[in-house]
Amino acid sequence: MTATGFARAAAAAAYVCRGATCLAPVTDPDEFGRPLSWVRICENGGRPPKRTCDGGTMLTLYQVEWCPSCHRVRQVMTELGLTYLTVNVQAERNERADVLAVSDQTSVPTLQDGDKVFSDSDEILEYLRGTYPAPENAGRHAAAGAWRAAVALSLAPRAALRRLKQVLEEKGFKIVAQVRGQTISELLPKEYVLLEVAVPVAAVKAVDIDPLAPAAVLLPMAVMPAESGGSVVATADPVGQVWLYGEPPLTRIQAAVKKRLAEVLEEL
């Protein structure tokens, strides 16, 4: 069938599969004009097939978007360049009949690869990394999804803090708070210091876009002693801090802050 043919067929019957109880019609054709019924998974008892049409194994991730353990699995699957099916499961554990059916338990992430099933993110990652070789650009994906940055300095913590504050100010960051780790807990190292920093112009825009997202206003950075006698400066990622909100305008503001922050770390 041609792409136009698919589009026409889709107009007549576009389905999204909800496992054993296929409901319809709710979706538009995909970018190639194919109706999503093309990927309906009504074989294998309403569950995703275990094999691809060329005889390979089918990877299926049972997950929910808001689950951090699911996220770490998706991140590694991105790094490994794996194509997989996603089954978005119910929020309530005791309603996850689909997960129970494949894995005899109800926690997610649960990964099925052919006849193999894993239900713990550590185990899943070990399996994936041990089974699928990393492609060349895996490191690029890993860096983009790390949501943190750290640099090691040969300066002792006090000098490193002075240097950091100076460079931050030069680059337009405002240091709004400085907290000694020991104020938080005496179990933290004596020389562990936290800074809360902001880019005022970005803060104003962020509050305008979403006043309920204070994570877009303040950025925590830490200076800590390193075993070498030097120190480490670690910082949250401005984009990572708002990434879960899924608000593109907020992310754009934070991307500009991130660029400025990269210049700071570069200059240290």
Ligand X SMILES: N[C@@H](CCC(=O)N[C@@H](CS)C(=O)NCC(=O)O)C(=O)O
61 is an interface residue for ligand X by CB under 6 A: no
Residues contacting 133, CB < 8 A, separation 6+ = 80
87 is an interface residue for ligand X by CB under 6 A: no
63 is an interface residue for ligand X by CB under 6 A: no
Q: Which of 10, 76, 108, 257 binds ligand X (CB under 6 A)?
A: 108
Q: Which of 8, 22, 57, 69 binds ligand X (CB under 6 A)?
A: 69
Q: Quick one: 118 or 192, whose CB is closer to ligand X?
A: 118
Partners of 149 in beta bridges: 235
Partners of 44 in beta bridges: none
In what helix (H) or strand (E) does residue 235 lie, and over which residues does it extend? strand 231-236
109 is an interface residue for ligand X by CB under 6 A: yes
100 is an interface residue for ligand X by CB under 6 A: no
120 is an interface residue for ligand X by CB under 6 A: yes
Closest by CA to 138, choosing from 75, 83, 85, 86, is: 75
Partners of 232 in beta bridges: 152, 224
Q: Which of 57, 86, 105, 107 binds ligand X (CB under 6 A)?
A: 107
Q: Which of 51, 93, 162, 252 binds ligand X (CB under 6 A)?
A: 93
Give how far the C-alpha of residue 177 lies from the chain's centroid of Cα atoms, to the nearest Å: 28
Residues contacting 75, CB < 8 A, separation 6+ = 141, 142, 145
Query: Which span (21-29, 66-74, 77-85, 137-145) binds ligand X, by CB under 6 A?
Result: 66-74
77 is an interface residue for ligand X by CB under 6 A: no
Partners of 57 in beta bridges: 51
Q: Quick one: 34 or 96, whose CB is closer to ligand X?
A: 96
Could you tell me the smallest distance in angstroms from the CB atom of residue 86 to ligand X?
15
Helix axes 248-267, 200-209, angle to 10 degrees: 160
Could you tell me the smallest distance in angstroms from the CB atom of residue 59 to ligand X?
16
128 is an interface residue for ligand X by CB under 6 A: no
- Concatenated DSSP letters of 162-226: HHHHHHHHHTT-EEEEEEEHHHH-TTS-TT-EEEEEE-HHHHHHHHHH-TT-GGGT-EEEEEEE-
252 is an interface residue for ligand X by CB under 6 A: no
- Binding residue count for ligand X, defined by CB under 6 A: 9
Query: Which span (46-54, 102-110, 206-214, 222-230) binds ligand X, by CB under 6 A?
Result: 102-110
Q: Which of 103, 121, 241, 251 binds ligand X (CB under 6 A)?
A: 121
Question: Coil, helix or strand for 63?
Answer: strand
Which residues of the shown chain bind ligand X in the complex (CB under 6 A)?
67-69, 93, 107-109, 120-121
